[in-house]
């Protein structure tokens, strides 16, 4: 394999690390999440788009013929003429990594088959997030959960030497757990989190919610969303415990019980989830708003320290202006790979309240999967 030195200019980071070029595939390549994967991977310094998978009706066509392209940028020239294949493992045997942008209706059986074929699957779908042996990873928060992969492999029949599934979180969960992790790192465990979301319409996929339902309107219900936030936050912010017999499990933040209450709303914004949080710390007295601002701005995750080429220079951007962050102004900063926080202030009911903006189609989706894969490569979880 040829090698490349990862170097991202501008708002990215320079890792200075040489990595072998790694063949990757994308499942659900013609969907909106798959399109975002292709946009990000088309000029990736390590990952080479080698295979595209989609439904049987798209198989056998050139990508430009099969896709209804909905991204702001044109289809990458390196991808336009690529052939689309069915989502079957035998077509992806030359790929070390497979990214899944499949809808949940199709993802379960297909991802299982790819794992059974000893392929490394990084999934954006929800199907395996609750699996007790599948890590649910937000790359700036809990890459240590990759440690459960050998157990996942050993419990399958037959046991696997290379294949596994890693999932990334729901888009609305991703936006909040990054600042919450920064606060727990700086000030110790949280006891309570209240969050109200204002979620963009792109989170519903394409064609998504009807214009008659969303224009001049706010929809105060997104099916299953509140439960996802409340449960996923505990798995992500919790640790991995090990029994006396060596069995690992996710502790769901049990050592310091955390209660999360979410209220979710769909709003007429194209991209960018805005979330308003109030939090209570176990520590007494709690940190001041200024201490919280400083801790958020200083947060440096493993993904940046290790040199993941897709990690942003600033994981959390803290805004001092009273009217920021805003989706239209801030969602594209660092290509949507970080999160924006503003309005950090004292809460008269809990301790601290603030606003988070995250790009749901970037760090809330494909970007997370790609950085998860970069971490897995750097940690030796993916053989290269």
Task: For each of the domains in the chain, give its residue range(s) and CATH number, in order of start.
Answer: 2-170+366-378 (3.40.50.720), 171-359 (3.30.360.10)
Query: Counting every residue, how long is the chain?
Result: 384
pLDDT in tens, 328-380: 999 999 999 999 999 999 999 999 999 999 999 999 999 999 999 999 999 99
pLDDT in tens, 205-225: 989 999 999 999 999 999 999
From 40, 110, 32, 106, select the one nearest 71 (Cα to Cα): 32
Asked if pLDDT for residue 12 goes beyond 60, the answer is no
Burial 6-25 (b: 16+ CB within 10 A, else e): bebeeebbebebebebbbbb
From 261, 286, 287, select the one nearest 276 (Cα to Cα): 261
Residues 187, 189, 193: CA angle, nearest 5 degrees: 105
Token representation of residue 207:
């064609």
From 112, 94, 83, 84, select the one nearest 28 (Cα to Cα): 84
pLDDT, position 1 = 40
pLDDT-based confidence at 8, cuts 50/70/90? very low
Cα–Cα distance measured from residue 177 to residue 187, given in angstroms and rounded to the nearest whole number: 15
Q: Which one is catalytic: 44, 145, 253, 273? A: 273
CB atoms inside a 10 Å sphere around CB 171: 25
Q: Which one is catalytic: 120, 171, 264, 308? A: 171
pLDDT in tens, 109-164: 999 999 999 999 999 999 999 999 999 999 999 999 999 999 999 999 999 999 99
Cα–Cα distance measured from residue 301 to residue 13, given in angstroms and rounded to the nearest whole number: 13
The answer to whether the predicted template modeling score (pTM) of the entire model surpasses 0.85 is yes
Per the CB < 8 A criterion, the answer to whether 16 and 306 are in contact is: no
CA 129 to the chain's CA centroid: 12
- Catalytic site includes residue 273: yes
Rg over alpha carbons for the chain, rounded to the nearest Å, is 20
């Amino acid at each position: 394999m040829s090698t490349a030195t990862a170097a991202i200019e501008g708002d990215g980071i320079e890792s200075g690390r040489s990595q072998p070029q790694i063949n990757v595939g994308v499942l659900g390549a013609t969907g909106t999440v798959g399109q975002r994967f292709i946009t990000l991977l088309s000029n990736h310094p390590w990952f080479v788009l080698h295979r595209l998978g989609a439904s049987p009706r798209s198989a056998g066509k050139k990508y430009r013929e099969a896709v209804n392209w909905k991204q702001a940028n044109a289809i990458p020239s390196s991808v336009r003429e690529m052939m689309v294949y069915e989502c079957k493992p035998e077509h992806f045997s030359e790929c070390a990594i497979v990214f899944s942008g499949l809808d949940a209706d199709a993802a379960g059986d297909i991802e299982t088959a790819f794992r059974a074929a000893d392929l490394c699957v990084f999934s954006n779908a929800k199907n395996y997030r609750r699996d007790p042996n599948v890590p649910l990873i937000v790359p700036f928060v809990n890459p240590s959960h990759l440690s459960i992969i050998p157990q996942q492999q050993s419990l399958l029949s037959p046991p696997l030497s290379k294949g596994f599934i890693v999932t990334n979180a729901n888009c609305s969960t991703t936006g909040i757990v990054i600042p919450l992790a920064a606060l727990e790192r700086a000030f110790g465990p949280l006891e309570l989190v209240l969050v109200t979301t204002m979620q963009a319409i792109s989170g519903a996929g394409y064609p998504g919610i009807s214009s008659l339902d969303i224009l001049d309107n706010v929809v105060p219900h997104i099916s299953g969303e509140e439960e996802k936030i409340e449960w996923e936050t505990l798995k992500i912010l919790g640790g991995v415990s090990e029994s006396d017999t060596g069995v690992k499990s996710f502790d769901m933040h049990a050592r310091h019980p955390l209660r999360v209450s979410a209220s979710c709303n769909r709003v007429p914004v194209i991209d960018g989830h805005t979330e308003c949080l109030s939090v209570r710390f176990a520590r007494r007295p709690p940190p001041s708003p200024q201490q919280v601002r400083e801790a958020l701005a200083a947060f440096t995750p493993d993904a940046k320290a290790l040199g993941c080429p897709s990690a942003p220079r600033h994981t959390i951007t803290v805004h001092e202006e009273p009217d920021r962050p805003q989706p239209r102004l801030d969602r594209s900063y660092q290509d949507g790979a970080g999160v924006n926080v503003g309005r950090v202030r004292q809460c008269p009911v809990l301790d601290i309240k603030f606003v988070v903006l995250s790009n749901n189609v970037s760090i809330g989706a494909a970007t997370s999967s790609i950085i998860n894969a970069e971490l897995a490569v750097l940690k030796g979880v993916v053989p290269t």
